[in-house]
Amino acid sequence: MYRVALTAPDDFDGWRGAARRLAAHDIDPADIVWQIGSDASDLFGDRPPPPERPEAAFTVPRAFVDLAQTATLHRAPERFALLYEQLRRIRSQRGAMDDSASPLLRRIDMLAKAVRRDMHKMRAFVRFREMPESEGSRYVAWFEPDHHIVRANAGFFVRRFTTMRWSILTPELSLHWDGDTLNEGPGASRGDAPQDDPVEAIWKGYYAAIFNPARLKTGAMLSEMPRKYWRNLPEAALIPQLVAGAQAREAAMIAATPRSPADDSPERNSVRAWQRLRDEAMGCTRCPLHRDATQTIFGEGPVDAPLVFVGEQPGDQEDLAGRPFVGPAGQLFDQALDAAGVDRARAYVTNAVKHFKHERRGKRRIHQTPDAGEVQACRWWLTQELSLVRPRLIVALGATAARAVLGKAVTISRTRGRPIALEDGTEAWVTVHPSYLLRLPDEAKRAEERARFVEELRTIGDRMKAAT
């Protein structure tokens, strides 16, 4: 029996080194014990992993390395053994990573998905509370992850809160950032973190302001924000009253709307498919943009909307609020829709790229345009959204959105103002992004361009009415 002693529950490098040596010697998975720490080594005549065999070295697909790196963070004790088994399959079977029917691969994939979800939850639900210290304030948060994700998530918090001095305490491990160096400490208990601070009132006000009852699905909300996190969230104190208000309004809407009695009506199924898609997108790592952003900003609106607006990417405020088009450009967009007589509530609004790409300058996060590779990576999600919603008209706001919708780069000035027939029969329109109007320095030019934008939206609104 071979015993592999890993240094920590998330010791991917340790697993990889041992797994490669064991696989090169063709050691059977049943003959290996994976353990954290070295307490029990050499009992019962166990052996350490065999030495390197350079002549039997082999390469594995990048997709496996990424998958294994993520799945290693799962709490399931069998994760190392499962990954080793898959590694052996890759060695002996061509296309082992493409075998979507493989129960082993599916199981590993589920582990990785759970880890990605947990990482997303940590990013979304960590709330810092101020603690005065002799060198200034330190912001301390308490978080209880489901899996061994804290170290893997550290880079995100360092990039996101570079200028703050902060600590994140968890039962297994603590992270401490002093603005320059990241240190690890032992696990802590909830009582080690402060329970409230003066910033909470501001946060609660912000949460109440961005709370959107139209998006409220109590079940989905509980799966996205399980009650175990509520204890750490200042805004959780508001949830019951906000939910009660929203449910009363929803009940009134249901009473006023004729509905199919069947729970599996096509409409309900589309909503469920959309929810699944959005949940999946929350853990997306198809391109590097997920690393620095707070969360995936998925599209929103009716899943049977006849009209879809596609923007470029979420901005700073959208990244924090979790919704598309709520920042300054979104407000201008709403005003223009109003002026054009187009009801935003009847449209599905999304972005070509779902994570906020930015560069940090001091405390500010400055927007950066996504590159062609990022647009292409994220086009997968946009295509899924469009195939679910199946709109009659798609409006691309700006060059990035046009690239995503049309599949090629176009010049806005040459493309705007006329319908473009897509292969599937949908009608596409291209116009400027509202942020372009905000950036125009000349007031007269801004007013002129805004009027043109409103006129285009009016034409599109008329086409939509004619088509429905």
Kindly give, in sequence order, each residue whose CB lies less than 8 Å from that of residue 386, ignoring residues fewer than 6 positions away: 308, 394, 426
Contact 188, 197 (CB under 8 A): no
CB of 221 to ligand SF4, least distance (A): 21
* Binding-site member from 20, 138, 147, 290 for ligand SF4 (CB under 6 A): 290
Residue closer to ligand SF4 by CB (options 127, 355) is 355
- The amino acid present at 116, given as its one-letter code, is R
CB of 276 to ligand SF4, least distance (A): 15
* Binding-site member from 90, 289, 394, 399 for ligand SF4 (CB under 6 A): 289
**CA 188, chain centre distance (Å):** 28
CA 272/CA 283 separation, integer angstroms: 18
- Which of these segments, 136-144, 155-163, 352-360, 451-459, binds ligand SF4 (CB under 6 A)? 352-360
| Contact between 20 and ligand SF4 per CB under 6 A | no
Kindly give, in sequence order, each residue whose CB lies less than 8 Å from that of residue 276, ignoring residues fewer than 6 positions away: none
Residue closer to ligand SF4 by CB (options 297, 454) is 297
| Contact between 278 and ligand SF4 per CB under 6 A | no
DSSP designation for 193? S
* Binding-site member from 284, 308, 432, 460 for ligand SF4 (CB under 6 A): 284
Tokens at residue 435, please? 């942020």
Residue closer to ligand SF4 by CB (options 67, 82) is 67
Residue closer to ligand SF4 by CB (options 312, 456) is 312
| Contact between 112 and ligand SF4 per CB under 6 A | no
DSSP designation for 214? G
Dihedral, CA of residue 211, residue 214, residue 220 and residue 226, to nearest 10: 20
CB of 4 to ligand SF4, least distance (A): 33
* Binding-site member from 19, 126, 141, 287 for ligand SF4 (CB under 6 A): 287
Nearest to 324 by CA among 339, 337, 313, 338: 313
SS3 16: helix
CB of 377 to ligand SF4, least distance (A): 4
Pairing relationship of beta strands 136-142 and 166-169 according to DSSP bridges:
parallel
One-character DSSP codes across 287-352: SGGGGTSSS----BS-TT-SEEEEES---HHHHHHTSSS-SHHHHHHHHHHHHHT--GGGEEEEES
Residue closer to ligand SF4 by CB (options 286, 346) is 286
Q: Work out the angle at residue 223's Cα, subtended by the Cα atoms of residues 9 and 236, and round it to the nearest 5 degrees.
A: 100
- Residues in contact with ligand SF4, total (CB under 6 A)? 15
| Contact between 403 and ligand SF4 per CB under 6 A | no
CB of 113 to ligand SF4, least distance (A): 14
Binding pattern to ligand SF4, positions 236-275, x when CB under 6 A? ----------------------------------------
- Which of these segments, 47-55, 116-124, 351-359, 413-421, binds ligand SF4 (CB under 6 A)? 351-359
| Contact between 67 and ligand SF4 per CB under 6 A | no
Which phi and psi angles does 292 have, rounded to 5°?
Answer: -100, -10
| Contact between 353 and ligand SF4 per CB under 6 A | yes
Residues at the contact surface with ligand SF4, assessed by CB under 6 A: 281, 284-287, 289-290, 296, 353-355, 374, 377-378, 381
